[in-house]
């Protein structure tokens, strides 16, 4: 771990790995609170390091001091899930596996991402990059990295956390990109921050740059889906902010779906736009795709998005589509399914509206016909 002023979270984090690990290696970058005292109370080895605006340096120092065969990387505001404490002992016996991607939950109401946080110690493995440091690994090892059911739970991410570190993060990203100008992921993260502070022209320039770099990357290269997912997401957000029209946004969603056929977020966004355009059959198809991916849980993990997209939101979308098509029986069915997952008064109102329309239709059928 690398930490600074984390007395609020550190105890809970270290408690979560107690009994699951043999040693705790913590690089402290200048804490002024009780962080070091708390770490030492858990028996941690604490290395003091003067912060140099570079995350890779302390991360690599932590690797250098580790004596174990396996490395687990955590941040202070994360905990290892209780069940994972048992599983972690089981999976290290698979000698042919050099490392595992774990589930990383950044918010309880959002889907999880995959992150390489558990791997065999090796002098070949080093972190690189000033910001969003990445573990550099030879191809023959990377190809054998496996998914796992280990789960790390982050403190619920919120906009205040982003805003608090905004200026620092932009400075570090710019510093990183001055050394690694073609690092797509870092460029995309700078785009994300520019969108947050509404520097749309700067975001445009960077997305154009990303598009050029992406055109040189083969589909089977590392992180291809990750780059494409974030590129299309930020492009879509930019179109939405600038109100460029539904046609451009649909085209962008369809392009994203062609690259990421298991990307629920783009199916969902396209379904909403098709609904607004009155293309209800296409909207229905895409809402159903979201539900199918949610049911199988076999979807792309490159992006986080609200879990509701895989359930109640898509069911509600289907309810609205069938309501517009005057198929009130189907409409009522999907609204009811949505309401079962989330008790929303707006959905309840649509259940009542569907029932009212069905009753009207039934009464119309039962009216006697008159002839002259």
The CA–CA distances, whole Å, from 226 to 188, 217, 240, 259 equal: 10, 12, 21, 11
**126 and 250 co-located in one domain:** no
184 pLDDT higher than 80? yes
Confidence of residue 370 (pLDDT cuts 50, 70, 90): low
**139 and 177 co-located in one domain:** no
Last residue of a domain, one of 123, 157, 191: 157
Residue 209 near residue 182, CB atoms below 8 Å: no
CA distance 98 to 95: 7
CA distance 317 to 325: 13
Residue 4 near residue 38, CB atoms below 8 Å: no
**212 and 182 co-located in one domain:** yes
**354 and 323 co-located in one domain:** yes
pLDDT of residue 164: 81
pTM of the model: 0.89
Last residue of a domain, one of 157, 173, 198: 157
Confidence of residue 92 (pLDDT cuts 50, 70, 90): confident
Could you give the count of Cα atoms lying within 13 Å of 203 in the half-sphere of its Cβ?
A: 23
Last residue of a domain, one of 113, 141, 157: 157
**55 and 123 co-located in one domain:** yes
354 pLDDT higher than 80? yes
When the pLDDT of each residue in the chain is averaged and rounded to a whole number, the result is: 93
pLDDT in tens, 324-347: 999 999 999 999 999 999 999 999
The CA–CA distances, whole Å, from 210 to 187, 193, 207, 225, 302 equal: 7, 15, 5, 14, 17
The CA–CA distances, whole Å, from 267 to 14, 92, 369 equal: 40, 37, 46
Handedness of CA 259, 265, 269, 274 (dihedral sign): positive
Least confident of 238-252, 303-317, 345-359: 238-252
95 pLDDT higher than 80? no
Confidence of residue 317 (pLDDT cuts 50, 70, 90): very high
pLDDT of residue 362: 83
**59 and 187 co-located in one domain:** no
Confidence of residue 156 (pLDDT cuts 50, 70, 90): confident
Angle between helices 224-242 and 184-196 (to 10 degrees): 20
Confidence of residue 100 (pLDDT cuts 50, 70, 90): very high
pLDDT of residue 163: 79
pLDDT of residue 368: 64
pLDDT of residue 102: 97
25 pLDDT higher than 70? yes
CA distance 223 to 205: 22
**29 and 112 co-located in one domain:** yes
CATH number at residue 61: 3.90.550.10
121 pLDDT higher than 60? yes
CA distance 143 to 270: 34
Phi, psi of 71 (to 5 degrees): -115, 130
| Domain count across the chain | 2
Gyration radius from the chain CA atoms: 25
pLDDT of residue 363: 81
Confidence of residue 122 (pLDDT cuts 50, 70, 90): very high
Residue 370 within a domain: no
**46 and 113 co-located in one domain:** yes
308 pLDDT higher than 60? yes
Q: What percent of the chain has pLDDT over 90?
A: 86
CA distance 328 to 88: 50
Q: What is the 3-state secondary structure (H, E, C) of the chain?
A: CEECCCCCCHHHHHHHHCCCCCCCEEEECCCCCCHHHHHHHCCCEEEECCCCCCCHHHHHHHHHHCCCCEEECCCCCEEECHHHHHHHHHHCCCCCCCEEEEEEECCCCECCEEEEEEEECCCCCEEECCCCCEEECCHHHHCCCEEEEEEEEECCCCHHHHHHCHHHHHHHHHHHHHHCCCCHHHHHHHHHHHHHCCCHHHHHHHHHHHHHHHCCCCCCCCCHHHHHHHHHHHHHHHHHHHCCCHHHHHHHHHHHHHHCCCCHHHHHHHHHHHHHHCCHHHHHHHHHHHHHHHHHCCCCCCCCCEHHHHCHHHHHHHHHHHHHCCCHHHHHHHHHHHHHHCCCHHHHHHHHHHHHHHHHHHHHHHCCCCCC
pLDDT of residue 242: 83
Parent domain of 39? 2-157
**202 and 151 co-located in one domain:** no
pLDDT of residue 369: 58
Confidence of residue 361 (pLDDT cuts 50, 70, 90): confident
Nearest to 130 by CA among 59, 226, 235: 59
Average pLDDT of the residues in 184-192: 96
């Amino acid at each position: 771990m690398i930490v600074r002023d984390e007395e609020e979270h550190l105890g809970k984090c270290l408690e979560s790995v107690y009994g699951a690990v043999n040693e705790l290696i913590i690089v402290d970058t200048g804490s002024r609170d009780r962080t070091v005292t708390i770490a030492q109370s858990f028996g941690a080895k604490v290395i003091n390091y003067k912060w140099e605006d570079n995350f890779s340096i302390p991360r690599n120092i932590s690797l250098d001091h580790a004596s174990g065969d396996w490395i687990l990387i955590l941040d202070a505001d994360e905990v290892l899930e209780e069940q994972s404490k048992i599983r972690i002992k089981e999976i290290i016996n698979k000698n042919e596996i050099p490392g595992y991607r774990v589930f990383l939950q950044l918010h309880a109401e959002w889907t999880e991402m995959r992150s390489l946080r558990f791997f065999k110690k090796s002098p070949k493995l080093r972190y690189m990059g000033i910001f969003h440091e990445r573990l550099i690994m030879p191809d023959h090892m990377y190809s054998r990295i496996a998914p796992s059911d280990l789960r790390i739970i982050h403190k619920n991410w919120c906009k205040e956390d982003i805003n608090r570190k905004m200026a620092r993060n932009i400075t570090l990203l710019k510093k990183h990109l001055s050394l690694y100008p073609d690092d797509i992921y870092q460029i995309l993260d700078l785009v994300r921050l520019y969108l947050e502070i509404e520097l749309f022209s700067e975001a445009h320039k960077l997305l154009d740059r990303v598009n050029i770099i992406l055109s040189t990357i083969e589909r089977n290269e590392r992180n291809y889906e990750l780059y494409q997912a974030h590129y299309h997401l930020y492009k879509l957000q930019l179109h939405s902010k600038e109100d460029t029209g539904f046609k451009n946004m649909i085209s962008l969603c369809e392009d994203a779906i062609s690259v990421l056929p298991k990307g629920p977020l783009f199916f969902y966004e396209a379904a909403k736009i098709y609904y607004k355009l009155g293309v209800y059959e296409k909207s229905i198809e895409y809402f159903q795709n979201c539900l199918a991916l949610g049911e199988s849980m076999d979807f792309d993990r490159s992006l986080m998005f609200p879990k509701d997209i895989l359930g109640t939101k898509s069911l509600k979308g289907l309810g609205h589509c069938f309501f517009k098509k005057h198929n009130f029986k189907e409409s009522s069915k999907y609204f009811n399914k949505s309401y079962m997952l989330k008790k929303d008064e707006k959905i309840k109102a649509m259940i009542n509206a569907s029932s009212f329309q069905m009753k009207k239709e039934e009464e119309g059928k039962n009216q006697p016909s008159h002839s002259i």
